[in-house]
Amino acid sequence: MNERFTRWLGDPAVAAGLNMPGTTMGLDSFRSYVGSFDNIRRNLLAIRMLNDEPIGLIMAEIDQRHRIGSLHLIVGDTAHRRLQISFEAVTLLIWHMFVERGMQKLMFEPLSRNQAAVTACRLGMLRQEGELRSHRLDAGTGQRLDQLIFALTIDEFKSRVRAVARLPKFEGPGLTRDFVRETARSFGRKQS
C-alpha cells in the first residue's frame, strides 16, 4: 500500500464518479479505510496487470442472507482507463461472485453522470432495474444527483454463459485449466 492509491482517489475524475469530497485522503486514512474491510461482507480487491502492478480497486459488499452482491469499480491508473480494462475486471468479478462466492444477484449502482460506469454496465449486458431520482447529494455542490441500478441474476448469467460465442480465459492460483469450460458445462453449455 502506497501513495499511488491515495493519488487515484484524489483524481478529480475518480472523485466525481465516486461522489467523494474534494479533499485528498492521506495514506494513514487510506490504511484505516482498507482496515474497515472484513473480506466477508465488505471486500476490497485490487485490479492488477499480469506483472502484478495495481491499476484499480473493486469494492464488493455482500448480503450473505439474500446472496446479493453490490459492486463498485475504479480504474485509478489513467494509462489504463479504458472500457476494455473495466469490462475484463467486471467479467472476472462476476464469475468469481457467482461461481465461487455463491451469489444469486449482483448489482451495480453508478451515478447517472458517471458515463464511464454507465457505459461499462450497458456493454456488459447488465439489465437496468431502475433509476433513483435525486437520490444522492453532490459532495462538492450539494446538487441532487440521480443514481442508476443495473443488475444481473444467476439465471441471466448462466443463460449468457450458455450462449456466448467465446468463453473468457482465466488463469491464476487455484484455478484449474478447465475451470471456465467445466463451469459452463455445468450450466448446460454445449461443448464443441
pLDDT of residue 178: 87
CA dihedral (112, 64, 106, 175) positive or negative: positive
Q: Please tell me the predicted confidence (pLDDT) of residue 173.
A: 73
Q: How many domains does the chain have?
A: 1
Q: Which residue matches cell numbers 464443441? A: 192
CATH number of residue 60's parent domain: 3.40.630.30
- Cα angle 101, 103, 108 (rounded to 5 degrees) comes to 115
| Domain assignment present for 191 | no
The structure's pTM equals: 0.85
What sign does the dihedral 30-114-129-150 (CA atoms) show? negative
Contact in structure between 85 and 47 (CB atoms under 8 Å): yes
The β-bridge partners of 9 are none
Residue 192 lies in a domain: no
pLDDT of residue 58: 92
The confidence score (pLDDT) of residue 51 equals 86
Q: What is the pLDDT along the chain (192 residues), one digit of tens a residue?
A: 677 888 887 787 777 777 776 666 778 888 888 899 999 999 999 888 888 888 889 999 999 999 999 999 888 888 887 777 888 888 888 999 999 999 999 999 999 998 888 988 888 779 999 999 999 998 888 999 999 999 999 999 999 999 988 888 887 777 788 888 899 999 999 876
Give residue 22's pLDDT.
63
Q: How many CB atoms lie within 10 A of CB 169?
A: 9
The three-state DSSP-derived secondary structure of the chain is CCHHHHHHHHCHHHHHHHCCCCCCCCHHHHHHHHHCCCCCCEEEEEEECCCCCEEEEEEEEEECCCCEEEEEEEECCHHHCCHHHHHHHHHHHHHHHHHHCCCCEEEECCECCCHHHHHHHHHCCCEEEEEEEEEEECCCCCCEEEEEEEEEEHHHHHHHHHHCCCCCCCCCCCCCCCHHHHHHHHCCCCCC
Largest CA distance in the chain: 55
Residue 168 lies inside a defined structural domain of this protein:
yes
The CA distances from residue 171 to 99, 145, 178, 180, in Å, are 15, 39, 10, 10
Contact indicator for 161, 183 with CB cutoff of 8 Å: yes
Range of the domain at 31: 3-186
